[in-house]
Structure 1
Amino acid sequence: MPNLFSSRRLTQLVSGVGALTALGALTACNATGGDQGGKGAGSQLVYWSMWREGEPQQKVLQASIDDFTKETGIKVKVQWAGRQVLQQVVPRLNTGNPPDLTDQDGSSLHAVLGDSALGLQDVYDAQITGESQKVSDIIPASLVETARTKEGQPMVVPYEVIGSTLWYNGKKHPDLAGKEQLTWSQFTGTLDALKQKGRTPLALDGDISGYDAYWMTWSIVRHGGVGLLGKACADKTGAAWDDPAFLAAAKDIEELTGKGYFPKDFNATKFPAQQTGWATGTNKTDFLLMGTWAPSETGEALKKSGKDVDSVISYRSMKYPEVDGGKGNSATQAGIIGFAVPAKARNAEAAKKFIRFFLNKDQLTGISSEAGNLTPRTDIPAPATLSDYAKEYAAADGQFFQPNDNCGGVAAKWVTDVWEPTVVDFFNGKADGAEDFVKTVKEKSVEYHKNNG
């Protein structure tokens, strides 16, 4: 799953938009039907999906597509394009012949489609097919706050929720069960006790820079609240980095790295060595800050090694520790995978109809029961491995943040050129303490914006 949500992949998508859009503009005058985009109901629709044939989500969606065609008579021409689907969509945007429907993670859809996406407020205001509830009744507005058109309309309708959380093995740590939230001092006290037993309790595959950044982003959100990092990454003056929350967060991370809670030379190991070692218990680690895909990834690794997953691990998770006076103590990371409709889609109304159809409880349940992922509907039970995260999601009361606090959606190149490398250097001890880290990020950010407009 890291390849799906890596900031580097998003940067590559965004950097290609300008050239591809210009290419599309050259052929736009020869396109037909483009001016009718967004108006037609149609008896068919074209859907280009991020999933590949045979993947669990693909199977769930295909079954729903079959049901949709039977019930409405609308035929769906689907292309299972895979993770780079938006790179295929972009050249078609200005020709007047894009697909009617596509999907991806919310940050990518917002960053890549931008003004080329249709506002979907009418979908949110409409009833879910076969139900009395509206779409807006099951999807919190804050979940799509960072994926809106310039007019303020939501441009994505999510059908899957992804996030990161602090994983542990319930078989090895039954003492942690029921402890939904630890304070920072309680957490480090637990780490100290584990270290005294000869363990290096925090697993981390440091060769994926985004995973180092998970820790820093979580700590910044805990101290400064949702949106602080997202504001700072776009600040050309650098003044936002003077907020004391950044230094407080950096000091917390400095404590983790300085006290040897991470395995020695963790940044020199090759993914997924650390997370697999955590799951198998071979690297003496106890906690893994990782996405909600951790059970599926590590479970597959266990199966390939010939181990019975249920006998080795019970997937449990807990909230990132609270901090004293933290503005984001209730927040959780909750990203989305969802649908978007290009503004020039020829069969936009049919696409909207399918979205409302798929959000029906009976249809959407497969994302949990078959694909093993969380849906935005709280009335659909989470898969057992995500039951703890589902409670965390529900308790956040709408305080959701994206990976890197949505910096990937507003300044993707900044994430890969400034943020992640500087965080990695800090984890590797190349910064002269927390103060130097914040100072360096601020200086590099000002220079970045000076050179990138």
Structure 2
Amino acid sequence: MPALLSGACALAAAGLLGGCLPGGSGGDGDKLVYWSMWKEGEPQQKVLQTALDAFSEDTGIEVEVQWSGRQVLQQVVPRLNSGNPPDLTDQDGSSLHAILGDGALGLEDVYDSKVTGEAKKVSEVIPAALVGSARTEEGQPMVVPYEVIGSTLWFNGKNHPDLQGGTQQSWGEFTGNLDRLKDEGRTPLALDGDIAGYDAYWMTWSIVRHGGVGLLNEACRDETGKTWDDPAFLAAAEDIVELIEGGYFPRDFNATKFPAQQTAWAAGTGKTDFLLMGTWAPGETGGALKKSGKDVASVIDYRSMKYPEVEGGKGNDATQAGVIGFSVPAKARNADAAKEFIRYFLNKDRLTPISTEAENLTPRTDIPAPPALADYSKEYAAADGQYFQPNDNCGSGAARWTTDVWEPTVVDLFNGKIKGAEEFVGTVRDKTVELYENDG
């Protein structure tokens, strides 16, 4: 999962997409070519394969599927530029928007049509607002989601019965709890520091809490750098510096290799208590525990809590929530068949296994969350539309800035190369201005 956004940033920054390809054809409706981000054997792949088989049997449409893995869009882009793309692909919403852009069809007609076998429209069970800025130049949504992903503060309920999952502490309460755990000989915050995006999770969450959703996104696109003068940035950086200098992360965490820290957190061998990680954490860590021969349920009870609120914070109710969904590339030869499958898969009965078998959250509120995501599901619902993407969606609108300025500077702060909050904010501001000046 860490490769999703970074892959999008790299492709967009390198300019591999080329020109936009408007239009798209419906095709003759008897074939569907689908290139997917999942690999054969993954839980989502199994759910989708079952649906594809049933779709082909029910409609008579021949399905040609390629399980390409996380770098699927790197394969779609050349075919898109040559005018012969697959009819359907999927990825996280930010990556689809960053890489495909106007190389994808608007899907307003899908949202306006009924879910196969149901009386309700797609827009009634899956609001288009979920896809945020993933829209065409005409303002149409270019993604239809089938899975909701986000990040939250995970902990083992077996070790912390005092914590109520889904609740929210103040920053002072949170750090006070960390101090208590540290006094007990623990280093309570787990982090694999070799993944730049995971270091950035902490800083992005802090900025959103202080300055609200969209502030970082505004700053990453501000060629003058003046947005960085907003006091929310300094306050946010001060909180993160407090964590780094407070000794709450394991010693030499930035020298470990992913997923060492998160695996040790789940197994209880790392003397860590909290993991700021995506909603895929139970699946990844649970899988690692199973491979080691351990009974997951006897080792860990996956619970989560909201990132702590800050005094006067403009984003205290916000949560990170994104989507994985379908897009139909421009010039798809069988666009109508692709849209038909989207409507077909979103049927409650066919989408439910994403929760029950793949153990992920779906965008349909009438499908219960899997047990490990019950706390996050409440957090997601309570945010009431105040959602933000990793790096506040800068990877979509400012891909080079994200890879060349933001993530390396955050890593330098965590690694001790940058000392203090003021130096961090000043460095990001100066590098932002320099980047845009060099771009002319």
Question: Considering the TM-score relative to the shorter chain, is it more than 0.5?
Answer: yes
Aligned length: 440
- 1:188 aligns to 2:175 (yes or no): yes
Structure 2 contact 106–141 (Cα < 8 Å) conserved? yes
- 1:176 aligns to 2:163 (yes or no): yes
Q: Runs ≥4 in structure 1, deviation > 6 angstroms?
A: none
- 1:78 aligns to 2:76 (yes or no): no
* Letter matched to residue 226 of structure 1: V
Partner of 1:404: 391
Structure 1 contact 140–398 (Cα < 8 Å) conserved? no
Partner of 1:29: none
Structure 2 contact 77–100 (Cα < 8 Å) conserved? yes
Partner of 2:365: 378
Stretch moving more, 177-186 or 235-244: 177-186
Partner of 2:30: 43
Find 1:11's aligned residue among 9, 12, 31. Answer: 9
Partner of 2:202: 215
User: CA offsets per residue over residues 222-259 of structure 1, 9 Å max, x none?
Assistant: 11111111111111111111111111101111111121
Structure 2 contact 166–378 (Cα < 8 Å) conserved? no
RMSD, aligned CA: 1.7
* Letter matched to residue 159 of structure 1: Y
Find 1:234's aligned residue among 221, 232, 240. Answer: 221
How high is the sequence identity, in percent, across the aligned residues? Answer: 74
- 1:308 aligns to 2:306 (yes or no): no
User: CA offsets per residue over residues 171-220 of structure 1, 9 Å max, x none?
Assistant: 00011025611111111111111111111111111111111100000010
Assess, with a 3 A threshold, how the Cα gap between structure 1 residues 35 and 284 changes in structure 2: closer, same or farther.
closer
Q: Partners of 2:263 and 2:39 in 1: how far apart?
A: 25
Partner of 1:327: 314
Q: Partners of 1:319 and 1:213 in 2: how far apart?
A: 17
SS for the counterpart of 1:175 is: coil
User: CA offsets per residue over residues 153-180 of structure 1, 9 Å max, x none?
Assistant: 1000011111110000000001102561
* Letter matched to residue 2 of structure 1: P
User: CA offsets per residue over residues 340-387 of structure 1, 9 Å max, x none?
Assistant: 011211211111111011111001111111111111111111111111
Q: Partners of 1:207 and 1:342 in 2: how far apart?
A: 34
TM-score, normalisation: structure 2: 0.96
User: CA offsets per residue over residues 309-329 of structure 1, 9 Å max, x none?
Assistant: 111110000010111111111
Structural mapping, 1:20-419, within 5 Å: 21=18, 37-40=24-27, 42-178=29-165, 180-419=167-406
Deviation for aligned residue 1:405: 0.6
Q: Partners of 1:15 and 1:233 in 2: how far apart?
A: 14
Structure 1 contact 36–346 (Cα < 8 Å) conserved? no
Q: Partners of 1:145 and 1:315 in 2: how far apart?
A: 29
* Letter matched to residue 187 of structure 2: T
Q: Partners of 1:49 and 1:64 in 2: how far apart?
A: 14
Partner of 1:28: none
Q: Partners of 2:28 and 2:176 in 1: how far apart?
A: 60
Instruction: Could you tell me which runs of 5 or more consecutive residues in structure 2 were left unpaired when the two chains were aligned.
Output: none
Instruction: Could you tell me which runs of 5 or more consecutive residues in structure 1 were left unpaired when the two chains were aligned.
Output: 26-33
Deviation for aligned residue 1:305: 2.3
Structure 1 contact 165–292 (Cα < 8 Å) conserved? yes
Deviation for aligned residue 1:87: 1.4
* Letter matched to residue 270 of structure 2: N
TM-score, normalisation: structure 1: 0.93
Structure 1 contact 203–288 (Cα < 8 Å) conserved? yes
Q: Partners of 1:225 and 1:295 in 2: how far apart?
A: 28
Q: Partners of 1:35 and 1:419 in 2: how far apart?
A: 32
Structure 1 contact 295–315 (Cα < 8 Å) conserved? yes
SS for the counterpart of 2:82 is: coil
